[in-house]
Chains A and B, each alone.
Chain A
Amino acid sequence: MAEAGDLMSRGALPSPVGTAIAIAHHGELIQGVFKDDDGSLHRGLVTLPIAGLRSEARFDRSDGDAVVVTPDHKVKAAAAARLTLDFLNVTGGGELTLQSAIPVGHGYGSSTADVVASIRAVAAAVDVQLRPSSIGRLAVAAERASDAIAFDDHAVLFAQREGKVIENFGGSLPPLLLVGFKANGGVPVDTLQLPPARYDSAEIQEFGVLRALVARAVRLQDPYLLGRAASASALISQRHLPKQGFNEIAEIARRGGACGVQVAHSGSLFGLIFDLFASNLKRRAALVAQQIRRAGFKDVEVHLVNAEGWSW
């Protein structure tokens, strides 16, 4: 039994090392501007997580003040580690090592995954479990705009520049199969160089409708409604960051019986959303993948969302 004093201090730690992971995403289901309860507007998004790609972080605490990161260009991850130490009132610094399989610049959220894994690793090194909301806030503080990957597969409408949840949908996304690929010849997009999209009133009103669809889709685990929301958000995104071949893809999705088309709103990713439990899914997805390749798109891959061991 620990003494009361021990409970309150972080003096004697079991291990000065913490490891953690964070998953990638495939862009967003929806992204836009949303009203909160008092009517003010916030930029927000619902992330589409893919657990198959991840970043791993290891944090070795040290007495020195510095946080040293490897590879050394991952300065946002280092900043996140620093912010987390400060948030937890921990003195000293440490060595942060990142290992990531997530491609950079397409909308997979490689940067946020590094940042979130780093925050979690630092917390683990001081034996603390942070709430997703705190991780999300620290991530935004470290990188200015951040997706909702701190919440893993839990669906939230996240204000990516404020680090707060606008609406918690209260559950996970339904099980999906995603046929993902890259538009615009697979050329990466520099997210931070993009000016924030300016939406007109009709678009802002429509975002409320898309949010309602996601809420219903999560509550009743309905991939069809999720697909409707994603397609509508992708269409709005076309007016702000157009992707070549959008109409062709929408047509392939329609003919292939997909629930919808999804994009990375500040990246080059495209995805066709399928209900994981739809009949003939493997055959249909393979057919769609072939049509997408023939249409000239790059890197066609299959991702599973909340598949719980379902094997492709």
Chain B
Amino acid sequence: MVTLDVDYFRDLETPRLARLAPNLVAAAFPLMKLMPARFILDRAASNGELKAGSHIVETTSGTFGMAVALLAAARDYRLTLVTASTLIDAKYKARLERIGATVIALDDPRGDGNQPGRLERLQEILANEPDGFWTRQYDSPGNWLAYARLAELFIRAMGKVDCLVGCVGTGGSLCGTASFLRTVFPHLTVFAVDTHRSILFGQPVGKRMLRGLGNSVLPKNVRHELVDEIHWVGAYPAYRTAHRLLREHGLFMGPTSGAAALVAHWVATTLPDAQVAVIMPDEGHRHAETVYNDEWLSALPGWPCKEPSEPRTLTTIAPAAETQWTRFLWLRRSLDDVLKTREASDVPPAVGAAENL
């Protein structure tokens, strides 16, 4: 392998650090998912699971798929991404295919992402490929282990970190960074950012507007016991904060970064003596025609909305409108512990729509 390749992707996966307030530092990633993708592939290559020319498979069509596609191209692996027709737009599919990935978009008659069908197809491919390798971003420990590098970068730049804010989709980035930071700063307070109608922190499943974070299945890499507070940010305030990141800081980031920045600003203002770190997972380019397009925005019902300046604190977990921002004190409990206190009929189903992570 050419050493230069490794350096290139290590640089590309390295976030730029931005100081958003005297006590707030953001890690602004061009493509955060390169960090776990590179780690998982490196590890599999060194322990022999991934051989030269192997066939990599994954069920995502989101940013993790993009990251694996870039690495697979540079390292001569074949790649098949199994997705659902409802989850991928023609442009993104074309981009992945141009990089060399095979993208299988399954029918999705129920409109829930057809995750069972995707897993079945993935298993078929693996059964026929002795050299198949499944990256498993939902459950592979490699996903969270990779983020020790992010903890390192925060520490080198900030020293002591008191609060960490980040989105949760597979859980890899926030839970990985949090667990490494907490081994050296046990007092670390962790703020997880999710969106209404994602099941990750006990909401009932439903249609979500803000994509990239949240989930309707529960990945193993979400470790609830690390989380002190959970915030659910609707699509509108996430978009508005993304716009503000650009206008006030010159940072062109995706809407999940907006959601994280909204919560992080509030944490940094509420706790002025704490050093706060926030993870911002991707850039705005993919959203230029939507989140950064006034025409698209003005077609949204109720846009523009008033921006909430602080979250509404919930005592019972419940979904809210896309204009809303809510919070709940999770207090490092397991999901079961939190759900036990609720009506049995409220418990969300374990599987639902598949994801766009």
Residues of A at the B interface (CB closer than 8 Å) are 37-39, 201-202, 205-206, 208-213, 215-216, 220, 222, 224-225, 228-229, 231-232
User: Are B185 and A228 interface neighbours, CB within 8 A?
Assistant: yes
User: Are A213 and B155 interface neighbours, CB within 8 A?
Assistant: yes
A231–B185 alpha-carbon span in the complex (Å): 11
A232–B182 alpha-carbon span in the complex (Å): 10
User: Are B145 and A220 interface neighbours, CB within 8 A?
Assistant: no
User: Are B3 and A38 interface neighbours, CB within 8 A?
Assistant: yes
Could you say which of B57-65, B146-154, B269-277, B279-287 contacts chain A? B146-154
Chain A residues with CB under 8 Å of B149's CB are 208
Q: Is B131 an interface residue (CB 8 A)?
A: no
A31–B42 alpha-carbon span in the complex (Å): 24
Chain A residues with CB under 8 Å of B159's CB are 216, 220, 222, 225
A201-B145, A205-B145, A222-B159 known; A212+B151 contact, CB < 8 A? yes
Q: Is B43 an interface residue (CB 8 A)?
A: yes
The range of chain B's interface size is 20 to 34
A39–B7 alpha-carbon span in the complex (Å): 9
- B22-48: CB near A (< 8 Å → 1, else 0) gives 000000000000000000001100000
Q: Is B77 an interface residue (CB 8 A)?
A: no
Q: Is B156 an interface residue (CB 8 A)?
A: yes
User: Are A208 and B152 interface neighbours, CB within 8 A?
Assistant: yes
User: Are B42 and A39 interface neighbours, CB within 8 A?
Assistant: yes
Other than the given A212-B151, A228-B185, 17 more pairs (CB < 8 A) read: A39-B6, A205-B146, A206-B148, A206-B180, A208-B148, A208-B152, A209-B155, A209-B180, A209-B181, A209-B184, A211-B152, A212-B152, A216-B156, A228-B184, A229-B184, A232-B183, A232-B184
Q: Is B141 an interface residue (CB 8 A)?
A: yes
User: Are B3 and A216 interface neighbours, CB within 8 A?
Assistant: no
Residue of B nearest to A225 (CB): B159
Residue of A nearest to B159 (CB): A216
Chain A residues with CB under 8 Å of B78's CB are none
Residue of A nearest to B148 (CB): A205
A222–B7 alpha-carbon span in the complex (Å): 31
A38-B6, A205-B148, A209-B148 known; A225+B180 contact, CB < 8 A? no
Chain B residues with CB under 8 Å of A210's CB are 184
Chain A residues with CB under 8 Å of B75's CB are none
A229–B159 alpha-carbon span in the complex (Å): 11
Chain B residues with CB under 8 Å of A225's CB are 155, 159-160
Residue of B nearest to A227 (CB): B184
Chain A residues with CB under 8 Å of B153's CB are 212
8 A Cβ contacts from B256-307 to A:
none
A220–B159 alpha-carbon span in the complex (Å): 9
Shortest C-beta distance, B14 to chain A (Å), equals 13
A208–B147 alpha-carbon span in the complex (Å): 11
Chain A residues with CB under 8 Å of B152's CB are 208-209, 211-212
Chain A residues with CB under 8 Å of B148's CB are 205-206, 208-209
A232–B184 alpha-carbon span in the complex (Å): 6
| Partner pick for B43 among A38, A201, A220, A232, CB 8 A cutoff | A201
A228-B184, A232-B183 known; A209+B156 contact, CB < 8 A? no
A232–B179 alpha-carbon span in the complex (Å): 13
Chain A residues with CB under 8 Å of B6's CB are 38-39
